[in-house]
Amino acid sequence: MEKVNLKNFDFKELENWVKEQGWQKFRAKQLAKWLYNKKVSSFDEMTDLSKDIRNQLKEKADINALELITFEKSKEDGSIKFLWRLHDGHTIESVFIPEKGHNTLCISTQVGCAVGCKFCFTTKDGLIRNLTTAEIVDQYIQSQRFVGLEPEKRISNIVYMGMGEPLANYENVKKSVRIFTDDKMAGLSNRKITISSSGIIHQILKMYEDKEFPQVRLAVSLNAADQKTREKIMPISETNTLEDLMKTLNKLPVKTGYRIMLEYVLIKDVNDSPKDAHKLARLIGKNKKRYKVNLIPFNPYPGSPYQRPDKERVDQFHKILWQYNIGAFVRWSKGQDISAACGQLRKKDLETSFITKASLNKN
């Protein structure tokens, strides 16, 4: 009999599975508590379940979906990049980012990515496969176990900005969000979860129309303020044009506290000129209350065809947006010394690059 992974279930499904085993309904709550509150990694730790039930669970179910291969901690800012092995040998990454007053986990949703953004390291070998719900959820559980369960180490924010296009793995991402935001499960705040998309219009619309998709924040990788430049660095723009994308975003029902984040990777001599900044401001136009702009200076990786603009250029771009009263922030990516910054996560070659670093040190 093939085992089921309990982290693939939302609460309703967990209850149904518990019922199928002939157990009482409250067992679902008990299991959810052990998995998402106590974050245990074995059935033996579930001490308020009888030995008989624990033995049955061991026969029928799994709770771990990832195996930690290695990790690397940034000396600059304390962020930790994890490299996980999946059951079929593929590898993915997550990044824990400690910040003042809160901690964020950046998670992956696919092995590789089909979208093909020209500035991105993840997409170099295309898409291998989607992650299961359990593989998405377990990045949160195992990262939290690793950093510790003390309140100050608690992961409060989750950003779907690791490897992959989250909305291309729609069902599994949706279920993982349901698990993260369900009070009977992980119980995280909806406002602290951000899904970042490259701008697949029909999938964004689907998410907003889907009553079962909990409302979370949306971030969209814009990266250019005109169609020609965007097409050059984001081929997806050929079919999801900038004009259509902005029209769609301008009409989305956005609640207070859920402003859409426009991500803009600043690439030297590609999209970083003052003219580009003015164009971006005009593109946002009268909808400035609906958006926040994140300016992310490009992080060069080995062999990358692009460069990072210097600080003056970044500041100049930033200032122009503020002159238009647009809420814009510069995000100098965390974890640059361990290649954990935006667009630098990649499934292949990681094992060697990780393992050859002699400086691995949990503390």
The total of other beta-carbon atoms located within 10 Å of residue 191's CB is 14
User: To the nearest whole angstrom, how small is the minimum distance from the Cβ of residue 283 to ligand SF4?
Assistant: 20
> Annotated catalytic sites, by residue?
93, 342
CB of 120 to ligand SF4, least distance (A): 3
Member of 5, 143, 198, 339 binding ligand SF4 (CB under 6 A)? 198
**Pick from 5, 104, 123, 203: which binds ligand SF4 (CB under 6 A)?**
123
Asked if 177 touches ligand SF4 (CB under 6 A), the answer is no
**Adjacent-strand bridge partners of 158:** 105, 193
Told to check if 235 binds ligand SF4 by CB under 6 A, we report: no
From the CB of 316, what's the least distance to ligand SF4, in Å?
A: 25
CB 170 to ligand SF4: min, Å:
14
113 sits near ligand SF4 (criterion: CB under 6 A): yes
Asked if 164 touches ligand SF4 (CB under 6 A), the answer is yes
Q: Is 117 in the site for ligand SF4 (CB under 6 A)?
A: yes
Q: Is 92 in the site for ligand SF4 (CB under 6 A)?
A: no
Among 89, 6, 74, which residue's Cα sits nearest to residue 43?
6
Least distance in angstroms from the C-beta of 125 to ligand SF4: 11
Q: What is the CA radius of gyration of the chain?
A: 21
**Residue 71 or 121: which CB sits closer to ligand SF4?**
121
Q: Which is nearer to ligand SF4, 68 or 114 (CB)?
A: 114
Shortest CA distance to 31 belongs to which of 39, 137, 182, 1?
39
Q: Would you say 27 or 174 has its CB closer to ligand SF4?
A: 174
**Site for ligand SF4 (CB under 6 A): which residue of 297, 300, 335, 343?**
343
The dihedrals phi and psi of 155, each to the nearest 5 degrees, come to: -80, 115
- Residue 45: partners with Cβ closer than 8 Å, 6 or more residues away: 34, 38
> C-beta of 344: minimal distance to ligand SF4 in Å?
10
C-beta closer to ligand SF4: residue 108 or 143: 108
Q: Per CB under 6 A, does 263 bind ligand SF4?
A: no
Q: Does 116 bind ligand SF4 (CB under 6 A)?
A: yes
CB within 8 Å of 173: residues ≥ 6 apart:
109, 136, 160, 166, 167, 195
**What is the spatial distance between Cα 198 and Cα 164, in angstroms, rounded to a whole number?**
10
Torsions phi, psi for 165 (to 5 deg): -100, 110
Give the integer Cα–Cα distance in Å for 299 and 196. 18
Give yes or no for residue 165 binding ligand SF4 (CB under 6 A): yes
Contact window for ligand SF4 (CB under 6 A) among 45-53, 54-62, 118-126, 134-142: 118-126
Q: Closer to ligand SF4 by CB, 5 or 198: give it.
A: 198
Nearer to ligand SF4, 14 or 338 (CB): 338
Four-point Cα dihedral 38, 41, 45, 46, nearest 10: 60
Question: Footprint of ligand SF4 on this chain (CB under 6 A)?
Answer: 113, 115-117, 120, 122-123, 163-165, 198, 343
